[in-house]
Chain A
């Protein structure tokens, strides 16, 4: 490759990358204006670029792919940083039955539909994961922006999200091993490693969180940023090597770092996460050919309708169990409908490992529909009559 060619390549890379990020900025403003979460627009943006879209990328494809991988890792480490180990333990203790119900009600429809569609066992496990987990990012943002944080159903909603995130830390290694095509032995080994890793990190973080935290603690934000980012990538890479999934490694680092260091780390990592996570959603859109969408739309609609229903049952029952009255139960029900980052992470994993090709476009449609459905239904419980039995 001569110097001239290299320079053109860099120019094209910068132009494409700049165009993508600038377009994402505009989409973010649009989302705020029309009051919907930004993830659907990022996905649509990705669909518009890329193969089969209005504009095909060339030079930046490789960079976007790597940036997307880093985006997943940053999404997960931030999730871990936001929860303290004691919050995880408390949620696991109080919400465990709801977590089991949530998994059964929402993962099973995905698995069954994939099996009926003849996609095979591995794709069925992937689709189960896609329909299972609600979007922590979308839901936490909606709750914060709508003044519902103080509501009685909110701790229950957040508890369900926490349980799902922990369940993912066990599910992702299982899926990774299945996708890698190992025999039953390898799959069991990956799950055992994951269970041991998650369990020990929760214990280590509550007992010795200080020591882990001291690894990255620094007086200045710059060193802290580099330390946390470095440790996260390092552990994520090792986890990937052990076939436990890089995402899970990043999540565990986030949980292990605790206290005020975690708060500062979350603060300094947030802008990086915003950039790379946006690129991740775009990259998923990019890898999906928009011409494949119409064919999977009926299936995605069916999946969305079915699992919006099952998710509402989960939310309703979880809130009722917490002693919340009728309107609050319905609020919990509709709030949990949106699926998001985890569904896309699972689909991206499955697609890149060469599982059923329809998984990608189906997941893209499915996430879009559930988010729009959730956003549309969000205010509906406010119109319900309050329950007559007034509390003393």
Chain B
């Protein structure tokens, strides 16, 4: 999955990175020496910015974290608990095995409240429910518990 990135030095200002996206448009990110970042989308002609925003260093880090997050995170109404959709990778040891085989609840304390399969929500799965590769498992629990479930699903848990 290589992305085509061209970089240009802007004397006195910083560096500009231009990314060619698979859908054809280009985006540009300028890293100024001041720490500010400019994030632009190029116009159809390709030389100039059609739209853009300037981010502070903190905002840039926040955007980067959101973009780089591997999973969708929902805010939960209960303090300390979060809801996340965890993917079942194609090479997961639990693809084509039952939910009960994961022992996710006993091992981590997190609850699996639904499974999303090809856009359809299958609520309240029983322990006999069979997981498929590319399912999204909707999990409620603490941060640590959810991370542990994710490791179980991708097979990296001991």
Q: Which A residues contact B (CB, under 8 angstroms)?
A: 79, 82-83, 87-88, 90-91, 136, 140, 143-144, 147-155, 158-159, 161-162, 263, 324-325, 327-328, 331, 386-387, 390-391
Contact = CB atoms under 8 A, between A and B. Distances in A.
Given A150-B18, A150-B30, A144 B13 contact: yes
B20 to A, nearest CB: 10
Number of contact residues on B: which range applies?
Answer: 20 to 34
A149 B48 contact: no
B40 A387 contact: no
Nearest to A388: B45
A111 to B, nearest CB: 28
A148 B12 contact: no
A151 B48 CA distance: 5
Contact of B16 (A147, A150, A331, A391): A150
By Cβ-Cβ distance, the 5 closest A-B pairs, closest first, are A150-B28, A328-B47, A82-B12, A386-B45, A152-B47
Nearest to B43: A386
A34 B77 CA distance: 46
B123 interface: no
Given A148-B49, A325-B45, A331-B48, A87 B30 contact: no
Contacts of B42: 150
A92 to B, nearest CB: 11
A152 B40 contact: no
User: Main SS of chain B's interface residues?
Assistant: strand
Interface in B78-116: none
B52 interface: yes
Q: Which of B12, B16, B28 has the most CB of A within 10 A?
A: B12
A325 to B, nearest CB: 5
Contacts of B44: 386, 390
A12 to B, nearest CB: 39
A293 B129 CA distance: 88
B47 A324 contact: yes
B9 A90 contact: yes
Contacts of B155: none
Nearest to B9: A87
B119 interface: no
Given A149-B16, A149-B38, A150-B29, A159 B47 contact: no
Contact of B9 (A155, A161, A386, A387): A155
B11 A91 contact: yes
Contacts of B49: 147-148, 150-151
B46 interface: yes
B54 interface: yes
B48 A158 contact: no
A155 B49 CA distance: 14
B33 interface: yes
Contact of B11 (A87, A144, A147): A87
B109 to A, nearest CB: 47
Contacts of A87: 9, 11-12
Given A150-B30, A150-B38, A325 B11 contact: no
Nearest to A263: B33
B22 interface: no
A328 B38 CA distance: 19
Interface in B37-68: 38, 40, 42-49, 51-54
A149 B10 contact: yes
Contact of B40 (A88, A150, A386): A150
A167 B25 CA distance: 39
A122 B48 CA distance: 42
Q: Which of A143, A148, A149, A391 has the most CB of B within 10 A?
A: A149
A149 B45 contact: no
Contacts of A331: 48
A158 B16 contact: no
Given A149-B16, A325-B46, A391-B46, A83 B54 contact: no
A153 B47 CA distance: 7
A90 B18 CA distance: 20
A159 B32 CA distance: 17
Nearest to A147: B52
20 contacts: A79-B12, A82-B33, A83-B11, A87-B11, A87-B12, A88-B11, A136-B12, A147-B38, A147-B49, A147-B53, A149-B16, A150-B30, A155-B16, A159-B11, A161-B12, A162-B12, A263-B33, A324-B47, A331-B48, A390-B46
Given A87-B11, A91-B11, A154-B16, A147 B40 contact: yes
Contacts of A325: 45-47
Contacts of A153: 47-48
Given A154-B16, A263-B33, A386-B43, A148 B48 contact: yes
A149 B30 contact: yes
Contacts of B13: 140, 143-144, 149, 158
A371 B41 CA distance: 29
